[in-house]
C-alpha cells in the first residue's frame, strides 16, 4: 500500500464514515480507445462486491442534467473491443460553477450514489478534486487520454492504440513517398505533449520528430534536409506534433518549400483517426486493471487518488498532484531520436 499517496487521515475518517454502496462512473474530456473496457471493469467489479453501479452519460454535463442510469453486468457486454465510450463524453462549463456542482451533487444523492469513478484527463481530475472537496463524494480518477501526458502512470488508456494507428498510417505514407521520391510531413495529435509524435516517429524511422517539449531548431532541420538532398535522399518523413512551437505540418511545409524548392513535399494531417478504432490488447488490459483497481480503492477507503501503473504495479497518486505534474519526456528519448534519425 502506498501510504504516501493516501489522503490525509482527517479527510478519510470524516468523508469515509459511510460505506460506499452505490458508485457512479463517467467518461470526460477527449475520448480514448479503451474507455469502454474500463467502464466494463468498473461495472463488473462493483457488482461482484455487491455495489450498485450507475452510468453517467456525457460526463459532468450528465451529472447536472441527471442523465444517470443503473448498469447491470449485461449492460457492458460486448463493449470491450469497441472504441469511443458508450457513456459518451462532453465538456461542461456549468460544472465550473458552484451552482452547477451543487446541482450535480443533488442528482447523485437522489440516486444514493456515494462514490465516483472519473475516467479522463487532468481537466476531468481537477473537476473531481473540487467536487469531492465541496461535498461528501469520494472520487477516484483513471487516466484516459491518448496524449500520455499525466504523471503518476507509465500508461494512459488510449495511448497505445493512438500510436499504433499513427504508425500504420505513416508506414503507408512511406510507401507512396518512396514511389514518388517525396518528403512527407505527417502531423499527429499532441497539442501540449509530444508522446504520440515521439513514439510513432521512432517506430517508423522518421528522419525528424518535432515535439512541443523541445524548442524546434528549424535551421538545423533545414540543414539536415539540404544535406540529404545532396546525397539524393529524397524520401524523408518528418513527424510533427500539432502543438510544436514552430507550428503544425502546413507551417513547416511552407518554410521548406521556400528554402528548399527541390523537394516534392506533401502534408498529411492524421487528425481524429488517432482517437477512434478498436483498442489494442495493451489498452484493453490496462483499462481493465485500472477499472478494477478504482473500485477496490473506493472499498478500501482511498479517496481523491488517480489509479496508475508504474513498473507494472498499481500506483496511486493524489489527484491534486496528478493535475499539477506533467509526464516529462526524458533526455534519453531525445538522444535516441537524434542518433537513429541521422
Domain boundaries, the chain: 3-158+279-324, 159-275
> Between 133 and 329, whose confidence is greater?
133
| Continuous H helices in the chain | 9-15, 35-48, 59-65, 98-110, 122-134, 159-180, 195-203, 218-230, 249-259, 281-300, 319-324, 331-340
Q: Specify the range with the lowest mean pLDDT, choosing from 15-19, 88-92, 183-187.
A: 15-19
> Between 298 and 303, whose confidence is greater?
298
Question: Does the structure show a pLDDT above 70 at 6?
Answer: no
pLDDT bucket at 155, cuts 50 / 70 / 90: very high
pLDDT (average), residues 218-226? 85
Are 276 and 83 a contacting pair, CB within 8 Å?
Answer: yes
Strand partners, 117: 25, 140
- In CATH, the number for domain 3-158+279-324 is 3.40.50.450
Neighbour-count burial of 335, counting CB atoms closer than 10 A to its CB (0-12 exposed, 13-18 middle, 19+ buried):
exposed
CATH classification of 159-275, choosing from 3.40.50.460, 3.40.50.300, 3.40.50.11540, 3.40.50.970?
3.40.50.460
Share of the chain above pLDDT 90, in %: 67
Active site residues: 147
Q: Sign of dihedral through CA atoms 78, 295, 23, 287?
A: negative
Distance, in Å, from the CA atom of 65 to the CA atom of 56, rounded to the nearest integer, reads 10
Domains 3-158+279-324 and 159-275 equal at CATH topology level: yes
pLDDT bucket at 295, cuts 50 / 70 / 90: very high
Over its C-alpha atoms, the chain yields an Rg (Å, rounded) of 22
What is the model's pLDDT at position 66?
97
Q: Sign of dihedral through CA atoms 247, 327, 140, 310?
A: positive
Distance, in Å, from the CA atom of 267 to the CA atom of 233, rounded to the nearest integer, reads 18
Question: Does the structure show a pLDDT above 70 at 3?
Answer: no
DSSP assigned state of 326? B
What is the model's pLDDT at position 163?
97
Distance, in Å, from the CA atom of 119 to the CA atom of 125, rounded to the nearest integer, reads 8
What is the model's pLDDT at position 264?
87
Joined together, the cell numbers standing for residue 17 give 464514515
Amino acid at each position: 500500500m502506498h501510504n504516501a499517496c493516501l489522503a490525509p487521515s482527517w479527510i478519510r475518517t470524516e468523508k469515509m464514515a459511510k460505506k460506499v454502496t452505490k458508485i457512479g462512473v463517467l467518461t470526460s474530456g477527449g475520448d480514448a480507445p479503451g474507455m469502454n473496457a474500463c467502464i466494463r471493469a468498473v461495472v463488473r467489479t462493483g457488482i461482484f462486491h455487491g455495489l450498485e453501479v450507475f452510468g453517467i452519460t456525457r460526463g459532468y454535463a450528465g451529472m447536472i442534467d441527471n442523465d444517470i442510469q443503473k448498469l447491470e453486468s449485461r449492460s457492458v457486454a460486448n463493449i470491450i473491443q469497441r472504441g469511443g465510450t458508450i457513456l459518451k463524453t462532453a465538456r461542461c462549463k456549468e460544472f465550473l460553477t458552484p451552482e452547477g456542482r451543487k446541482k450535480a451533487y443533488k442528482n447523485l444523492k437522489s440516486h444514493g450514489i456515494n462514490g465516483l469513478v472519473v475516467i479522463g484527463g487532468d481537466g476531468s481530475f481537477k473537476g473531481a478534486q473540487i467536487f469531492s472537496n465541496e461535498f461528501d463524494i469520494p472520487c477516484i480518477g483513471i487516466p484516459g487520454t491518448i496524449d500520455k501526458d499525466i504523471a503518476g502512470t507509465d500508461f494512459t488508456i488510449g495511448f497505445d492504440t493512438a500510436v499504433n494507428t499513427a504508425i500504420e498510417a505513416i508506414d503507408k505514407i512511406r510507401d507512396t513517398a518512396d514511389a514518388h521520391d517525396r518528403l512527407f510531413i505527417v502531423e499527429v495529435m499532441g497539442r501540449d505533449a509530444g508522446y504520440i509524435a515521439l513514439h510513432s516517429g521512432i517506430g517508423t524511422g522518421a528522419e525528424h520528430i518535432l515535439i512541443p517539449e523541445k524548442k524546434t531548431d528549424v535551421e538545423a532541420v533545414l540543414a539536415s534536409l539540404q544535406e540529404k538532398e545532396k546525397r539524393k535522399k529524397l524520401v524523408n518523413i518528418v513527424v510533427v506534433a500539432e502543438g510544436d512551437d514552430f507550428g503544425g505540418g502546413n507551417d513547416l511545409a511552407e518554410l521548406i518549400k521556400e528554402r528548399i524548392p527541390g523537394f516534392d513535399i506533401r502534408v498529411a494531417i492524421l487528425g481524429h483517426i488517432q482517437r477512434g478504432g478498436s483498442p489494442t490488447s495493451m489498452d484493453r488490459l490496462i483499462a481493465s486493471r485500472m477499472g478494477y483497481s478504482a473500485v477496490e480503492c473506493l472499498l478500501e477507503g482511498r479517496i481523491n487518488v488517480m489509479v496508475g501503473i508504474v513498473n507494472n504495479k498499481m500506483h496511486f497518486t493524489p489527484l491534486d498532484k496528478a493535475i499539477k505534474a506533467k509526464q516529462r519526456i526524458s533526455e534519453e528519448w531525445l538522444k535516441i531520436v537524434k542518433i537513429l534519425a541521422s
